[in-house]
Amino acid sequence: MDFSAPRGMRDFYPEDMILRNRVFDAWRSAAVSFGFEQYDACVVESLDLLKRKAGEEVENQVYAFQDKSGREIALRAEMTPTLARMVAARQGSLQFPVKWFCIAQCFRYERMTKGRKREHYQLNLDIVGEDGAAGEAEVIAAAVCAMRKMGVPDEAYRVRLSSRALLSELLDKKGIDAKFHSGVFIALDKKGKMPREEIEEILRADGLGDEECAKAFDLTDISSLDEAAAIAGADSPAVARIRELLSLLELYGVASQVVFDISVIRGLSYYTGVVFEAFDTKGEFRAIFGGGRYDNLLTAIGGKPTPAVGLGFGDVVVGELLKSLGIADPAPKRDLVAVGYMTEAQRAAATRLAARLRGDGRNASLQLRPQKAKQFFAAAGDKATHAVYVGPDDEQAGTARLKDLATREQSEIPLS
């Protein structure tokens, strides 16, 4: 019998839950502190919904199957199509903009590399119904807030930001027809992950000539927003939008975290405007979080046109980063009282005492069997902050022995 989890899937033992909960707590508290409301959905989604955004990497990675009635379903690979479906279902009654977050387990049949599993949890922060740069600013600032709540120093990572709208304008200037742009985005996103010749082959298969391929590649060498602006022209809406966003981020107190990087394009096809990805500064890990504006997804799945922006923030890479920074230490022991008793005769008194402690709002873990005092106090130290013990003499005197397991100080408390 092999006791390991299926390849790419993780087991979370109690000690692993400490780090996971720390990450989830930071995510939740950052999202709530920015006024995002929580939503959720089932991990099983209809394959049809996922197929409607055909032609991208994630689709090949979907765990799909038929249920017993022959319905084509899948484990969600990301939350965004589900979010779009849920918003579309209530488009007439929702008060826009909506600011929603969720912590969703996602499944992708990926090649197993560092930072990539076949299952991961993702914080999703999305704002639907807002087309202004404030939307991007909110989700980026909330993600930075989550990083700070986890204790990650600002200098440990940067959010690299660009815009597909800008790249489109630049491709226009280079004479590359708009019908090629979405193909160019997906192909250029592979730069650094695939040899240039293979990317050029994809572009040529899309219909681009050699000269156009070279021009598209040249754009990824642009090293600053000013350089991009010089090509895009003084009246470029995309450049103005990025500048507006950068000044908003200044007001949020997170501008130091964000840098312009034309090579950020993102692999998902639904992005339309600003796109961004956070990476550790040492360049050791994969993307920590990523997202962007996707103004056409609602229409693509059959809803009314509605602008949207959001991000996904995975638990795997940030967990690796916390470990490498030496800040993944277990959280301080939670407040827990272990309750023990010497013989079967004291079980009732100890059980009542544990119930009273819980009634007072404490956490109490009652021993399931009688135990000698020495063993009980020794074992309690591993899990609890306090220990309460009832022996026959204690019971007779109507008291229990209370020990603070940190200071080892002992006192008596009344059983009542």
- Return the H-helix or E-strand segment holding 229: helix 225-232
CA atoms of 159 and 353, how far apart (whole Å): 52
Residue from 28, 76, 85, 120 in contact with ligand HAM (CB under 6 A) = 120
Site string for ligand HAM, 304-343 (x = CB under 6 A): ------xxx-x-xx--------------------------
- Return the H-helix or E-strand segment holding 290: strand 289-293
Task: State in angstroms the smallest separation of the CB of 195 from ligand HAM.
Answer: 22
Q: Which stretch binds ligand HAM (CB under 6 A): 94-102, 117-125, 207-215, 256-264?
A: 117-125
Residue from 88, 100, 122, 340 in contact with ligand HAM (CB under 6 A) = 122
Q: Which stretch binds ligand HAM (CB under 6 A): 191-199, 201-209, 286-294, 323-331?
A: 286-294
Residue 273 engages ligand HAM in binding (rule: CB under 6 A): no
Task: State in angstroms the smallest separation of the CB of 119 from ligand HAM.
Answer: 8
Neighbours of 92 (CB within 10 A): 6
3-state SS, residue 367: coil
Residue 163 engages ligand HAM in binding (rule: CB under 6 A): no
Nearer to ligand HAM, 84 or 405 (CB): 84
Beta strands, E only, 316-385: 337-341, 364-366
Contact predicate 150/23, CB 8 Å? yes
Contact predicate 274/309, CB 8 Å? yes
Contact predicate 322/285, CB 8 Å? no
Residue from 97, 183, 273, 291 in contact with ligand HAM (CB under 6 A) = 291
Task: Give the interface size with ligand HAM as a residue count (CB under 6 A).
Answer: 23
Neighbours of 43 (CB within 10 A): 15
CA atoms of 78 and 120, how far apart (whole Å): 10
Residue 98 engages ligand HAM in binding (rule: CB under 6 A): no
Q: Residue 327: what residue type?
A: I
Site string for ligand HAM, 42-81 (x = CB under 6 A): ------------------------------------x-x-
Which parts of this chain interact with ligand HAM (CB under 6 A)? 78, 80, 108, 110, 116-117, 120, 122, 124, 126, 268, 287-291, 294, 310-312, 314, 316-317
